[in-house]
Amino acid sequence: MSDPKVVLVTGSAKGGIGYEYCKAFAEQNCHVVASDIPQRMNDMEELSSERIETIELDVTSDKSVSSAVEKIISQYGHIDILINNAGIGSTGPLAELPLNTIRQAWEINTMGQLRLVQQVVPHMASRRSGSIVNIGSVVGRVATPWAGSYCASKAAVDAMSNTLRLELRPFGINVVLVLPGAIRSNLGSNNVERLRNYDWKLYKDFTDSIAERAKASQGSKATDATVFARHVAKKVLSHKPPKQIVFGHMTGLFAVLQWSPLWVRDLFFSTRFNLNKKL
């Protein structure tokens, strides 16, 4: 029997989709390395099992990423699959949202993924084998009001993944872009919590609409995170992994919006998020 595949998952704290990825890949007999920032290590305690171990990994730190990857390589000799999942929401009007907040979203959601890629690729290339799974979003293709910072960071993931897929092909490395729809997790509550830090000026009349956007992905019809993670794991582990995995509630709507004229898209979102009124 071949050795189990070694899977590194970033952003694995309880309550997030990463937590479910860890369980889903373990169910498929992989050895999973669940990782998150030091402050959230306690939120991964329940993951620890025969097939799942936990380590500290901060995707915004070159040193942390390098240390974690080298530790895994020294212990197992290889990383077969990287799940670039670590991410943070970023809600608010672009004209007022502090640049430091926007920068943080890009540092985690975009640069964090590339930081992992640059550390893992040399090891995968030496074996002419491996899969990199970048977690994007349907809003990376169809941006929404009140979340431009988050949408832009995910659009960059989309562009990077399309480039990496071709650039890494000569080394036998697969690149899979995952575009989740509305998946049930703690993303919405975390978004709403962060909004308490802001006192909008230009957009004070839109406070309720901004809060509505912060939790928009967490409605009653949102796809269960366990179901979503199992779907992704099976696709990634298939004999020929797909280039893209689009799955979850509202993906059909966003597919229609993506191919609709801009005026249709603008009408939909301006109505949905209260942007039709004149001030």
Q: Which residues are catalytic?
A: 150, 154
Q: Nearest CA to 236 among 8, 16, 77?
A: 8
Task: Report the C-alpha gap between 71 and 67 in whole angstroms.
Answer: 6
